[in-house]
Structure 1
Amino acid sequence: MYNRDLHIKSSTSRPPEWHLFVPKLYTVLRQGYSWADLRHDTVAGLTVAIVALPLAMALAIASGATPDKGLITAIIAGFLISALGGSRFQIGGPTGAFVVVVFDVISRHGYDGLIMATILAGFMLIIAGIFRLGTFIKYIPQPVVTGFTTGIAVIIFSSQMNAFFGFGIDGLSADVLGQWQTYFSQLHKISPVTLLLAAGTLALIILLRNYAPKAPGFLIALTVGAAIAPLLGLSVSTIGSQFGDLPHFLPAPSIPTFNIADIPDLLPSAATIAFLAGVESLLSAVVADGMTGRRHRSNCELVAQGVANMASGFFGGLPATGAIARTATNIKSGGRTPVSGMLHAAFLLLIMFLFAPLAGYVPLACLAAVLVIVAWNMSEIGRFAQFMSAPIGDRLVLISTFLLTVLVDLTVAIEVGVVMSALVFMHRMAGAVEVATHVSLIEEDHDDLNGFPAKAYIPGHGLPDGVETYEITGPFFFGTVSLLVDVLERIDANTKIIILRLRNVPLIDATGTSALADFISRSQSKGRVVILSEPQPSTRELLHRLQNENAGAHLHLAASFDEAKKIALAGLAEEPE
């Protein structure tokens, strides 16, 4: 039995500051890199390259650029993010989060303006990492992230209907409402052949995901589409007809031509790119940590993202960040170290060198189907619906961020969402100011070079082995979730029952609810029983809802600690010998 309070105390002897910026690649090589590691990383790198190839081209086209720009970004930025980053498993490249802002910058400032904005964003990310702002990016409220992510998904989906239905509309408005007004006024221009090809590609991707999840669905679907179109003599737009042949080699790096007077106009877009790159890369690193049990260095990751974006700009590429889906694919494919991400970039370069002409046969309708799937994956419908049952303040933040993203501007949406979250939080804190949290909101990066492991908690209370109790003190809101999850991940493998004492928790916000639900789900998957003990009246209704959503013998709600101990002892008595 353990009594655990969420107090994190700093060690009296701190490691050198520069240790927090040492790439994970160095850590890996310092610990020893074997032929077995290389074999696993090679397989994972090739797998991720096959997944990244169609996505890089599709995202570049959706952003208003040419497909080769996406490949350049995946190769240059993907290599540097893995080589210099603070995560063992991060895969970098172009992502859907940038589509809207890149399209807007190109339309207003041209491609040279985008390159300058990308380089400026890279510089901002390096500064943010040096000043250790990666810690604060972790605490962006989840309703804000979900709101603008879902909004971006809607924008991507809307923009692809032109190619999906074969309207052939030139100069389509960037405004979502304007796009749909145009679509409905041009229904007579729908191309049945293009629509059938796009719908068939979409159906093939879905079937492969359901019945052959390990197969590279995007690449197979694009290959089939590229083969069917010329065989049947289909008159559809292709990458070749729209953009010409793809180059075989990377371009030489160059300094873009720009007017210094344009920099003030580019700064808001650069700041948005930097913000998106920082948030998505750290979210991806957190996901990787959850899948592997490792720890990333957030500020080292920001510096790597900055260097990669500046390099991508110098090579004429697009903004880049950590890609959650590709990073997860890397882990599931057996990737062990940053070498897998570096090899993924090398394989993409080899594919570009050998097979660039073949990409010209890919129909744009097939790429539109790929982006429809990307938009669906980004939309996070389940999480969006979950937050719609959250407290009213969180719902307002979510809906406002979503609507502003779709209807106004991504930068405005983020600014308003963060400010609204701060106001909602301050309002909640006004009623809980007398409660001391004892929780450090500044979580230090983990230093694994000098051997400063997190301290183990001290056992107490004397209940039987297999039962642990944790006590949360203070509001369980978006700023403390990361710390709590990190502490709870240290649970002993032999633990059968967990008592979570909530007597000093005056409120739980939407992000806290999501983290608590995830913790309950992970505990149940390992056969552990969770007992939520001594909830305050303000949180009782929410916890009852969690209990109803997790019906069964693995989650209990106890009004008192004595009742929780009785449930725990009874649960131990029922355990098989």
Structure 2
Amino acid sequence: MNWMQATHFFRPRLLDSMQGYDRHRWVQDVGAGMTVGVVALPLAMAFAIASGLKPEAGLFTAIIAGFLISALGGSRVQIGGPAGAFIVIVYGIVERYGLANLILATAMSGVLLFFMGLFRLGNLIRFIPVSVVIGFTNGIAVLIMLSQIKDFLGLKIASMPADFFGILHALWHHLHSANLAALLLALASLSLLIGWLRMSRRLADTRLQAIGAVPGSIIALVFATLVTWLLSLPVETIGSKFGGIPSALPAFEWPAFGWDSARFLLMPTLTLTLLGAIESLLCARIADGMTGDRHNPNQELMAQGIANFVTPFFGGMPATGTIARTVTNIKSGGTTPISGMVHALTLLAVVLVAAPLAAHIPLAALAAILMFVAWNMGEWREFLLLRQYRMPYRVTLLAVFFLTVVFDLTVAVEVGLMAACLTFIYRISSLSRCESVGQRDHPILAGHQAHIQAWRVYGALFFGAVKLIEDIEDKISTPVVVVDLKNVIYVDSSGADALMNLIDTCRKKEVRLIVCGLQHQPLDIARRSGLLLHLDGQLEADLPSGLQKAIGLLAPQGQ
């Protein structure tokens, strides 16, 4: 493979974005990148803490993965980093298999993501039904809010379980240890977030819109940190829980993991891969709708794969495209991947300069921020609109939601996809039909109905609709049977096999079978399966001339 062929398969949007790049766009990108960096700061730490990791894991992920995804990705404006969707999965892996195997699972998912992009599988993610996406998104949002109750109330729980019922049990039995100061601080932070959001919307078209553009999460974080420090509130902080965050990036480290536990990581790895692909491409599609651009899904998956392979060996966690930060980037004026790279460098500067200040950040404030993010992450109106949809859609969405919350995201997605596939098969098979062609449809049949049975098939002749052909077999009662397939758009191997069985049945009953109207894909599979060869050699010489004329007019295309 030469250089030109390689760039066809691996071509970051950064290369195309540099054409006609000028100072004005540079200023826009730098401003947008710094704004997104400020927004990402509290979220990165909060996502890491909620996942059972140290806060710096989220920061390192936002820096390293965020830079790589922007520099190598297939979208001009997408921002990569740690995401709330991973919290439940990452926490479960850490609890069950340990940090070393989280690194392995993340790196393995990176390899899978890269090969998905390399083999041009990016468009397949779009085939996942909306009901499945909404179901697990809302389920993850509920789990995030549930996992933050501990820090929101200031409960003294040494280690939170990873399963739904375990979390409920731990919260209930430690409810007496609630910290009033932490609860009030969390409520004040959450109220400030909501109030700031409403105020920023009112200031959007005024001279004070610059004030409203300041992220509410930063306002709440600064407020809670100052109140905690000035009043010496007895609440848990990053410093008291984790000892602060380091003021430098970590060096490459190869973890010590064992094969005994690593061999059980197949399903968690597949879950990280599927979730990362869905989140990143969903985010990219939302960005396309806002900018009018069109991303390259395969390039985006390859970039996500590289980022997820590299980042865990530098103390990071799984990364993907992030909707909130991407939207912030677009609204702040970002137009090229430069803004995403600046966002990562902004976070790096914060880590190098202001790391000691992070020790005073209260965990209750971060819990309030995650509660706010989880609420905005869910599509709760879809529950109210369920009555507008058919029963299969409702059952699929609610089943995926319930299974995500109570059992496991992997199980939820598997069941959701299976239910969606079965529903699709049923719907397509119900749209396929077979009609008897009578004298009213073809006057030429007048006087010959005792000798000719004619059938017209509509739709797709696949494994879910072969009963249509089987019904024709059961109803054969004339010397000649005509089957018109000109309205059939698709035939699979099961459909071709059903037609072969019909040919055999007609031969055994000494019935002349004429299959007409084959075209496009049905004609192609008839050739490849040998179906046309079995239809050859059936002569009309022994039939009355009037009957031959009727057959000719009824099936003018022959076989």
Q: Does 1:26 align with 2:26?
A: no
1:58 aligns with 2:46: yes
The structure whose Rg is larger is 2
Q: The residue matched to 2:111 in structure 1 has which SS?
A: helix
| Structure 2: distance between partners of 1:354 and 1:388 | 54
| Aligned partner of residue 367 in structure 2, secondary structure | helix
> Where does 1:356-375 land on structure 2 (aligned, <5 Å)?
356-375=355-374
Instruction: Give me the whole-angstrom Cα distance separating, in 2, the residues matched to 1:187 and 1:64.
Output: 21
Name the CA distance, whole Å, in 1 between partners of 2:161 and 2:264: 21
2:28 is the counterpart of 1:35: no
User: CA offsets per residue over residues 89-142 of structure 1, 9 Å max, x none?
Assistant: 010000011001100110111111100000000000011111111110111101
Structure 2 CA distance for aligned equivalents of residues 165 and 116 of structure 1: 34
- Segment of structure 1 superposing worse, 180-189 or 116-125: 180-189
Residues 212-248 of structure 1, C-alpha deviation per residue, up to 9 Å, x if partnerless? 2522110111111011012112110000000002111
Question: Does residue 106 of structure 2 align to residue 112 of structure 1?
Answer: no
Report the Cα distance in structure 1 between the residues aligned to 2:329 and 2:427, rounded to whole angstroms: 41
Q: What SS does the aligned partner of 2:148 have?
A: helix
Question: Paired residue for 1:400?
Answer: 399
Q: How does 1:445-464 map to 2 (within 5 A)?
A: none
1:297-353 deviation line (CA, Å, top 9, x unaligned): 000000000000011112120000000110010000000100000000000000110
1:180 to 150, 168, 191: 168
Q: How does 1:306-325 map to 2 (within 5 A)?
A: 306-325=305-324
1:340 aligns with 2:339: yes
Kept in 1, the 8 Å contact 2:156–2:174? The answer is no
Give 2:139's aligned amino acid. Answer: G
C-alpha distance 177-257 of structure 1, shift in aligned 2 (>3 A): closer
Alignment of 1:277-296 (within 5 A): 277-296=276-295
Alignment partner, residue 147 of structure 2:
159
Q: Is 1:120–1:267's contact at 8 Å kept on the other side of the alignment?
A: no
Name the structure 1 match of 2:86: 98
Q: How many Å apart are 1:434 and its aligned residue? A: 5.9
Provide the rounded CA distance (Å) in 2 between the counterparts of 1:230 and 1:245.
15
Report the AA paired with residue 149 of structure 1: T
C-alpha distance in 2, partners of 1:20/1:263? Answer: 32
What is the total number of aligned residue pairs between the two structures?
A: 423
Q: Write the deviation string for residues 62-95 of structure 1: whole angstroms up to 9, x where unpaired.
A: 0000000000000000000000000000100000
Deviations 1:521-561 (A, max 9, x none): xxxxxxxxxxxxxxxxxxxxxxxxxxxxxxxxxxxxxxxxx
Q: Name the amino acid aligned to 2:429.
A: A
**Aligned mates of 2:109, 2:255 — CA distance in 1:** 15
Letter in 2 for 1:274: T
8 Å contact from structure 2 (residues 164, 405) kept in 1:
yes
Q: Matches of 2:103 and 2:184 in 1, distance apart?
A: 37
2:351 alignment partner in structure 1: 352
Matched residue type, 2:371: V
What residue in structure 2 maps to residue 168 of structure 1? 156
Provide the C-alpha distance between the structure 2 equivalents of 1:27 and 1:254, rounded to a whole number of angstroms: 34
1:374 deviates by 1.3
Match of 1:123 among 87, 111, 127: 111
Match of 2:183 among 168, 172, 195: 195
State the Cα distance separating 1:33 from its structure 2 match: 1.4
Does the residue aligned with 2:388 lie in a helix, a strand or coil? coil
Q: Is 1:404–1:410's contact at 8 Å kept on the other side of the alignment?
A: yes
1:376 paired residue number: 375
In the alignment, is the contact (CA less than 8 A) between 1:176 and 1:407 conserved in 2?
A: yes
1:566 is aligned to none
Query: Is residue 9–residue 118 contact of structure 2 (8 Å, CA) maintained in 1?
Result: no
Whether the 8 Å contact between 1:21 and 1:297 is mirrored in structure 2 is no
Q: Distance in 2 between matches of 1:129 and 1:329?
A: 26
Counterpart-to-counterpart distance in 2, 1:42 and 1:202: 30
1:273 maps onto 2:272 in alignment: yes
Q: Please list the CA deviations of residues 181-230 of structure 1 after superposition, one character each: whole Å capped at 9, or x if unmatched.
A: 43334333222111100000000011110002522110111111011012
Which residue of the other structure, out of 120, 126, 135, is the alignment partner of 1:138? 126
Tell me the equivalent position of 2:245: 246
C-alpha distance in structure 2 between counterparts of 1:247 and 1:408, whole Å: 36
Supply the distance in 1 between the matched residues of 2:262 and 2:179 (Cα, whole angstroms): 43
- Superposition deviation, residue 18 in structure 1: 4.8
TM-score (norm: length of structure 1): 0.71
Q: Quick one: distance in 1 between partners of 2:176 and 2:248? A: 42
The equivalent residue for 2:491 is: none
| 1:208 and 1:215 in contact (8 A); partners too | no
Amino acid at match of 1:244: G
> Which amino acid in structure 1 is aligned with residue 157 of structure 2?
I
Deviations 1:468-514 (A, max 9, x none): xxxxxx99xxxxxxxxxxxxxxxxxxxxxxxxxxxx9xxxxxxxxxx
SS at match of 1:431: helix
Contact 1:44 1:340 in 2 (8 A): yes
SS in 1 for 2:66: helix
User: Counterpart of 1:409?
Assistant: 408
Shift of residue 271, structure 1, vs aligned partner: 0.9
Aligned residue in 2 for 1:208: 196
CA contact (8 A) 2:164 2:407 kept: no
Deviation for aligned residue 1:256: 2.4
Is this contact kept in 2: 1:115–1:314, CA < 8 A? Answer: yes
Q: Give the aligned partner of residue 454 of structure 1.
A: none
Q: Judging changes above 3 Å, is the alpha-carbon distance between structure 1 residues 327 and 159 closer, same or farther for their aligned structure 2 residues? A: same
One-letter code of the match for 2:94?
A: I
Q: How far apart, in 2, do the equivalents of 1:36 and 1:20 lie?
A: 31
Question: 2:456 maps to what in 1?
Answer: none
* Distance in 2, Cα, partners of 1:365 & 1:126: 37
1:438 corresponds to: none
The separation in 2 between residues aligned to 1:172 and 1:294, in whole angstroms, is 43
Q: Is the 8 A contact 1:20 1:297 kept in 2?
A: no
State the 4+ residue runs in structure 1 displaced beyond 4 angstroms.
Answer: 15-18
Name the SS of the counterpart of 2:326 in structure 1: helix
Unaligned runs of 5+ in 1: 1-14, 436-473, 476-503, 505-577
Separation in structure 2 between the aligned mates of residue 27 and residue 107 of structure 1, nearest angstrom: 43
Q: CA deviation at 1:17?
A: 8.1
Residue 87 of structure 1 is aligned with which of 55, 68, 75? Answer: 75
The question of 1:386 aligning with 2:379 is answered no
State the one-letter code of the partner of 1:33.
Y
Of residues 281-290 and 171-180 in structure 1, the stretch that sits farther from structure 2 once superposed is 171-180
- Aligned CA RMSD, in angstroms, stands at 1.8
3-state SS of 2:251 partner? coil
